[in-house]
Structure formats: structure tokens, C-alpha cells
Amino acid sequence: MSGWLNALTDLEQRGIPAVLVTVAAVDGSAPREAGTKMVVTPETSIGSIGGGTLEFRAIEIARHMLGGKQGPSLRKFPLGPALGQCCGGHVTLLFEPQRPDLFNVALFGAGHVGRALVQVLSALPCRIRWFDPRADQFPDHVPPGVSVEITNAPEREIAGLEDGSWLLIMTHNHALDLGIAAKALQENRFAYVGLIGSETKRARFEKRFRELGIPEQQIVKLTCPIGIDGVSGKHPGEIAIATAAQLLRLREAVKQGLRVVDESAA
């Protein structure tokens, strides 16, 4: 596999956007031939299209594209006085933004189910932020795309999550669960707020949400219990697989523009 293709595959798995820059055409003298490729990320570049001012300008353009939502574009550059290169030819570059089709998951809790979920979700197109106040609960090694974040106030981390994130709440403490879920529902900007627990736990939490003044239309957006209907096993691996399946089903509906009604959470 080519170096640039390996780089794009690795970046996609880690959820890092990039721009693939290709020398699409050469007219006259140029430092590199048509077909040469370079990968540009927000922080680095991989490969080279010949160096010099042309490459510097290409990286600058690519990073500007990463800050917006532009699609592919062709740009022609004269390699003369304008770029300070002595080749004298013209180079046409193709810029192709590569934005990973990922969904952002925020997982609160590093207990048995949390660890099982990370293993399942890390094999999917996810970027996972994993929160817990207990540093010793995290494994020594985590899969690519998983960021471990040790925090004594996990509910405060809600404000820093990306809009449209998918939240999974399963800490070792019901008070923590309540604080995180309440904050998430109050912000009303997430694709999914899932809370591990029974119908009884849900009923208790709903009562507290109402006491906190959370509107009913927000409370009903909580998913509890989590996981697709029909899977009753309590083993951490079973819960993890059922929950991952629920996320994928709901996400597919969102991508297709369907109204999401998760009857298993009713």
C-alpha cells in the first residue's frame, strides 16, 4: 500500500481530517511529476510535491480548507516569479478534503461495561472521549481513536463536547450519573444521551430532572435502559454489543434524515 494511502487510512481511524494534494498536471518544467501526492493534516504533512514555495502554498491552502466545508478543487500555479521557483512551468494541483465519517462518542465510566464498550466501539468509525475520576480503572493501553480523560468533575466536561455527540453514561456512582445526564439534557445539543440502568432507575432520575426544572421534552430524550430491544443478557460484553448496535441503528436513521423514535427506550 502506498505511503499516502497508509497515512489516510491511519488518519481516518484516528478521526483526523486531512487534505490529499495531488499533482494533477504538469506543463513545462516542475519539481515533481503528475500523480505525486501529499497528505496535509491540521498539524503536519506526509509526503512531498517538490518542496519550495509551491509546497508551502499548497499546505497553506489545504489547512484553510480544513477549517471550512469546501469540496475538491483544482488550482493552477505558475512556477515563475510569483512563487519564486526557477522551474518555469505550470503545475495543476488537485485538493481533496478527507473528512472521516465518524461519530463522536463521550463515554462516562471506566467500569466493566465501559471497558467492554470501548473495545466494541473502537472497531467502528468512532472518536471516543473516555471520562472517569479513577485513573487506576483505565487499561494500560487503549485502542486508536480513544482519548482517556481523568476528571473529578465529569459533568463539567459536557460543555466541551462537540455538538451532535453521542453520550453514554455509566459511572460507578448514581450521583455522578445524575449530574452528567442532567447537564447533557439541559444543553439539548446531543444526538443521544444514554444512561445505563433499569426502568426503576429511569423513573427515579426523571423525578429528579423535574425537580431541577428540566423540561419534559428534554427528559423524554434520555435513553434508559440502553441497548437494542431483545437482548436481556447482563454480561458486560452483551451490554456493549447491544448498545453499539443501538447507536449504529439510530445513527443510520439520522444519516437518512429519518425521525428517530427508539421504541426500545420507551
Rounded mean pLDDT of 60-88?
Answer: 78
* All cell numbers assigned to 121: 466501539
Rounded percentage of the chain residues whose pLDDT exceeds 90: 61
Higher pLDDT, 70 or 56: 56
pLDDT at 193: 97
Domains and CATH numbers, the chain: 3-98 (no CATH), 103-265 (3.40.50.720)
Dist CA 253 CA 234 (whole Å): 27
- Residue 96, SS3? strand
Beta-carbon neighbour count of residue 148 at 10 Å? 16
Beta bridge partners of 105: 128, 166
| E-assigned strand segments in 34-182 | 37-40, 45-47, 73-78, 90-98, 103-108, 126-132, 146-150, 166-169
Distance CA 195, CA 177 (A): 8
Instruction: Count the residues in the chain.
Output: 266
pTM: 0.69
pLDDT in tens, 100-135: 777 889 999 999 999 999 999 988 878 899 999 999
pLDDT band at 24 (very low <50, low <70, confident <90, very high): very high
H or E segment and range at residue 251: helix 236-255
pLDDT one-digit tens code per residue, 32-57: 888 999 999 998 999 999 888 889 99
Q: How many distinct helices (H) and strands (E) make up the chain?
A: 7, 11
Of residues 38, 80, 78, the one with CA closest to residue 59 = 38
